[in-house]
Structure 1
Amino acid sequence: MSARIGFFSFLVLFLTIIGKNEGARILGVFPFFAPSHYILGSTLMKGLAEAGHDVTIISPFKEKNPPKGGKWTEIIVENTLEAVMKSFPKPDLFKMEGLSGISSGISTTFLIETLTNLITEETLKNNKIQELLKSNQKFDAVIITQFNVEAMKAFASHFNAHLILFSNVAANSWLNHFVGNPSLPSFFPEILLSFPEKMSFMQRLENTIFKLANTLYYNLYIYPKHNEFIQKYFPNPVNIDDLLYNVSLVLLNSHESISSAQPHVPCMVEIGGYHIQPPKKLPDDLQKFLDEAKEGVIYFSMGSNLKSQDLPIETREAILKAFGKRKEKILWKWEDDVLPGKPPNVKVGKWLPQQDILAHANVKLFITHGGLLSTIETVYHGVPIIAIPIGGDQKMNAYGAERQGYGIVLPLREISEEKLSGLLDEVLANPQYTNNVKERSIIMKDRQVKPMDNAVYWVEYVIRHNGAKHLRVPYLELTWYQFYLLDVLAFIIGVILTTVILIKVTCTYFYRKRLNKTKLKKN
């Protein structure tokens, strides 16, 4: 009898362990054509697959290094790029660099919305996506990139799955309201305005006006537009209002080492730096070039979306002249076959393994556009920067690095041989820049758990706890005007005005009555 009980107990324990280790089915939606977006999305989904889960990813890229663990399925929407480009010719981003403040924010907002609306619709009507929507597949969670593709949140509703948002950047007003995270314009600069954390009165005024305008724009145009996409392309459509605020988890590509400390509600988790991999061996020519650079190496890259070859000719020539005077070697990500006027100390490459380069001990300075991935990687490896920000979040990241003391901002329009040479001397000769970034690097690496492990844990947590509704803040039920007390303020103002009017009417009445009595006495 005892043997049977022992065997039964063992069987129950065994089945319990098997049940706990059974992988979840997770859909990741990362439809953007920017390589940086794909790196973040695919790295997250591969981490989940390697943790033993059954992962499906929607993207325009084919993964070159599929995960070794779990199950990996790709739905590649490669044909959407051509369709989008027909309606959305690629803008000259370098020409937009001079805009600032509200004018920059407005123009960038319209640019982003035009592009994201096209990407959303072209992705949803793609034959492969329609086949997926009409299939009998089941998912436990859907992870959506939080970048103005609101209609795609209907994937979660369609598959009866928990909705998880992934943000390429830190908490911001594009996503805070979906989970009730505080983002008052008094202390939360709008991401497209690039204002410092401590804003002046005029900056707070601009920030407030821009936030109000954005809130109205999204609620009156963007969300209704994406609701149309949902009704048109999903077999069993629901209203977008039932989707936007039904978020179980937000994964933020941020950390205190690279951005200011910010308030986060319980369902928001920072995983910044999760995409960084251990350094790999460099190609032989690059390894030799870096190893032999006894005076050090300056690494120059404008990222994956911006092309150095598109720089204005006079700017490029000024940069080359400044580089030609350096004792250090220069490694430049240059997308063309030839770099006219290239000095002997400059080596170019159409594609360069940035993380592995920054990890090399001889790299002393990184000249960057200030993209967030580049910012995270340079902080992790402890390399100071000169930032040439162009748009998006680049200015915010660049000026943040300058305030934190590990970089200097060089606006594109101010580049000259003399200016660049002076900044190179300043950053390379002053050890404070390197010391500051190495201090930030220590902070980034000082974590209780690895950021990827943290991401996997919280995704699994949400699935284990059936959406983790206990993490939702109760005031999320308030509308945006209730959240900001606009209805209360309107009521208070109305009461004050009514009281003032009543007092005025009453005073006028008694004044006239008294005046009439005085006139009667005189008569």
Structure 2
Amino acid sequence: MMQMSALKSLVLISTWIVTDAFNILCLLPYPGKSHHMVFEPLLEELVHRGHSLTVVSFFPTSKPHPRRRDVNLQGLAPLNVEMIDLKDADFSFYGLERYFEHVPIATRLAKSNLELCKRLLDSNIFEEFIKAKGNYHLILVEHFTSDCMLGIVHNYGLPSVGLMSCALLPWSFSRVGAPDNPSFVPGMTLPLTDKMTFVQRIENTFFLYFYLIWYEVAIRWEEQKILEAKIGRKLPPLEEIGKNASVVLVNTHHSWNGIRVLPPSVVEIGGIHLHKKSIQKLPPELENWVTNAKNGFILFSLGSLIRASSMTKKHFDVILSVFAKLPQRVIWKWEAEISNLPDNVRVLKWLPQHDLLHHNNCVVFITHGGMLSLTEAVSAGVPVLVVPILGDQFGNAEHARHAGLAHVLRLRDLNEKSFHHALQVVLSPGLRSRAKQLRAIWQDRQHSPMDTAIFHIERTARYNGLDMSSDARWLNRFQLALIDLLVFVVALLGGVVFVIFKICIKCHRKIKQS
């Protein structure tokens, strides 16, 4: 009897697995390696759980699988690896760098987005997606600084799930009907948190509307033209297509990325790139070097996008001078050869960052403040010195500081005194203790980031799309702020006052005549 019951259970489980196996199209055409590092573990897990994937990206898998087909975009655009020159980040803007240092990058980004959109759509590789070939249940699409792929989503007429490797962008909030009130929602490119002064709220409001207008005019309108010219018909506004996403999976966690008021359609999956990521043994020589560091070691890396060796000689000399005076050892990601290094400093062209952060002797992490690097620091419980360079790194750095994980030092403020002081702050027992506590809070969740992401993807496919965003997304800003209602009330009251005034005058005249 028990055998029969077990057999029935096995049949039921097998049936569930078969019926819930979906065919998924994944549109991830951004050439940034760090972005794809967030998504790749999710893609692998989807295949592992029985789903079939067609992945369109610049980073095909190194682990081929019968249920995964990779459409390789390499060659259509350069990969964003070690492409940022630190000399470009060290500029003067008439003393106003604090406000405008991120604007030049934004304008270059708009141009590169349009060029990439056109190259993708003009390539033979994309012909099948323009013609909506393939029998899919669902589309996974990256939501970032381009809406080019939303035209393809509309082509198929399928439910979609958005993937974000960073925090919500200025134009992301309106798509899901989440409040983006600049009085308490800081812009991701600004060094601000939820608590702002009056002056900071002015700055935050200005840049919110600057980026909303910039994105609409410089990117979305132009991509709309490119898409319609290629597809050969009129499309709904890309903004409206984006509002139809069933779920948006965001690579953040409120423990250190800040608290947001979000509808059910926005799901935080911060740390998903660490799914099943084990701590690997270091190469013997490196293991021996860090283990024998009596006072611990400092890990210094500016990530995969920034070329550390491009920094100015002034900054290089300052950093090396301070390192030479420290009792700790230093491991520095540096792409070129350096001679005459202090005995306590080693440079490597590439670092096993995750493994080094989890080493017992790692006492401080110096980083540019990328989302992945800071997430790995939180997961390892290591205090951080952040030197933000571009994009969301300014916002990430400030949130990490606010959470008690980090100290922030701008590149323009880096000198021997400020750098030495910053290191003493992050080496303090108090910050190290807070980093350990934050790690525990970050890890303590009802479900893992991966299980959360898979649940929402499968659920969206199972019900052929879900409506979990607030209907506020269909209202314009005048309606959201009740300005239309205010104008109506003022007009109505004005009309009533006018009528009463006219009646009073008329009555007054009658009284005078009598």
The interval holding the TM-score normalised by the smaller chain is: 0.7 to 0.9
Match in the other structure for 1:271? 269
Asked whether the 8 Å contact 1:302–1:308 carries over to 2, the reply is: yes
Match in the other structure for 2:33? 35
Q: Deviations over 1:224-282 (max 9, x none)?
A: 22211221233666323541211100001011222112111011111001111221122
2:76 equivalent among 70, 75, 80: 80
Task: Report 1:9-408 matches (<5 A).
Answer: 13=12, 16-21=15-20, 23-64=21-62, 66=63, 71-82=67-78, 93-95=88-90, 100=97, 102-104=99-101, 106-134=103-131, 136-234=133-231, 238-241=235-238, 242-276=240-274, 277-336=277-336, 338-408=337-407
What amino acid does structure 2 have at the position aligned with 1:78?
A: Q
- Alpha-carbon separation, structure 2, partners of 1:13 and 1:44: 26
What amino acid does structure 1 have at the position aligned with 2:269?
A: I
What amino acid does structure 1 have at the position aligned with 2:148?
A: A
SS in 2 for 1:438: helix
CA shift for structure 1 position 368: 0.7
Asked whether the 8 Å contact 2:51–2:67 carries over to 1, the reply is: yes
- Alpha-carbon separation, structure 2, partners of 1:268 and 1:288: 45
- Alpha-carbon separation, structure 1, partners of 2:105 and 2:509: 62
CA shift for structure 1 position 208: 2.0
Match in the other structure for 2:444? 446
TM-score when normalising by structure 1? 0.86
CA shift for structure 1 position 448: 1.6
Range with greater deviation from structure 2 (383-392 or 130-139) = 130-139
What amino acid does structure 1 have at the position aligned with 2:45?
A: G
With over 3 angstroms needed to count, the CA separation of the structure-2 counterparts of 1:397 and 1:13, relative to structure 1, is closer
Asked whether the 8 Å contact 1:60–1:78 carries over to 2, the reply is: yes
Identical positions, percent: 30
TM-score when normalising by structure 2? 0.88
With over 3 angstroms needed to count, the CA separation of the structure-2 counterparts of 1:490 and 1:208, relative to structure 1, is farther
Asked whether the 8 Å contact 1:94–1:311 carries over to 2, the reply is: no
- Alpha-carbon separation, structure 1, partners of 2:307 and 2:498: 63
Give the aligned CA root-mean-square deviation in angstroms.
Answer: 3.3
SS in 2 for 1:373: helix
SS in 2 for 1:185: coil
SS in 1 for 2:273: coil
- Alpha-carbon separation, structure 1, partners of 2:122 and 2:105: 26
Asked whether the 8 Å contact 1:427–1:433 carries over to 2, the reply is: yes
SS in 2 for 1:459: helix
Asked whether the 8 Å contact 2:118–2:226 carries over to 1, the reply is: yes
Asked whether the 8 Å contact 1:49–1:67 carries over to 2, the reply is: no
- Alpha-carbon separation, structure 2, partners of 1:444 and 1:349: 30
SS in 1 for 2:54: strand
- Alpha-carbon separation, structure 2, partners of 1:166 and 1:198: 28
Range with greater deviation from structure 2 (486-495 or 350-359) = 486-495
Range with greater deviation from structure 2 (161-170 or 301-310) = 161-170
- Alpha-carbon separation, structure 2, partners of 1:232 and 1:109: 25
Match in the other structure for 1:475? 472
CA shift for structure 1 position 513: 8.7
What amino acid does structure 1 have at the position aligned with 2:43?
A: M
Asked whether the 8 Å contact 2:86–2:307 carries over to 1, the reply is: no
- Alpha-carbon separation, structure 1, partners of 2:364 and 2:44: 31
What amino acid does structure 1 have at the position aligned with 2:40?
A: S
Asked whether the 8 Å contact 1:97–1:390 carries over to 2, the reply is: no
- Alpha-carbon separation, structure 2, partners of 1:10 and 1:346: 60
What amino acid does structure 2 have at the position aligned with 1:397?
A: N
Asked whether the 8 Å contact 1:382–1:441 carries over to 2, the reply is: yes
- Alpha-carbon separation, structure 1, partners of 2:92 and 2:41: 30
What amino acid does structure 2 have at the position aligned with 1:124?
A: L
Structure 2: stretches of 5+ with no match in the other structure: none
With over 3 angstroms needed to count, the CA separation of the structure-2 counterparts of 1:402 and 1:15, relative to structure 1, is closer
What amino acid does structure 2 have at the position aligned with 1:314?
A: K
Asked whether the 8 Å contact 2:22–2:52 carries over to 1, the reply is: yes
- Alpha-carbon separation, structure 2, partners of 1:199 and 1:413: 23
CA shift for structure 1 position 58: 1.7
Match in the other structure for 1:3? none
With over 3 angstroms needed to count, the CA separation of the structure-2 counterparts of 1:396 and 1:216, relative to structure 1, is closer
Asked whether the 8 Å contact 1:369–1:390 carries over to 2, the reply is: yes
- Alpha-carbon separation, structure 2, partners of 1:436 and 1:67: 42
With over 3 angstroms needed to count, the CA separation of the structure-2 counterparts of 1:14 and 1:313, relative to structure 1, is closer
CA shift for structure 1 position 13: 4.4
Range with greater deviation from structure 2 (348-357 or 99-108) = 99-108
With over 3 angstroms needed to count, the CA separation of the structure-2 counterparts of 1:93 and 1:147, relative to structure 1, is farther
SS in 1 for 2:364: strand
Q: Deviations over 1:68-106 (max 9, x none)?
A: 6x7222112112225999xx9989542358765553454
With over 3 angstroms needed to count, the CA separation of the structure-2 counterparts of 1:499 and 1:319, relative to structure 1, is farther
Higher relative contact order (CA 8 A, sep 6+): 2
- Alpha-carbon separation, structure 2, partners of 1:359 and 1:54: 34
Q: Deviations over 1:423-471 (max 9, x none)?
A: 223322x2111111111100111112211111111100111121022x2
Structure 1: stretches of 5+ with no match in the other structure: 1-5, 518-523
What amino acid does structure 1 have at the position aligned with 2:70?
A: E
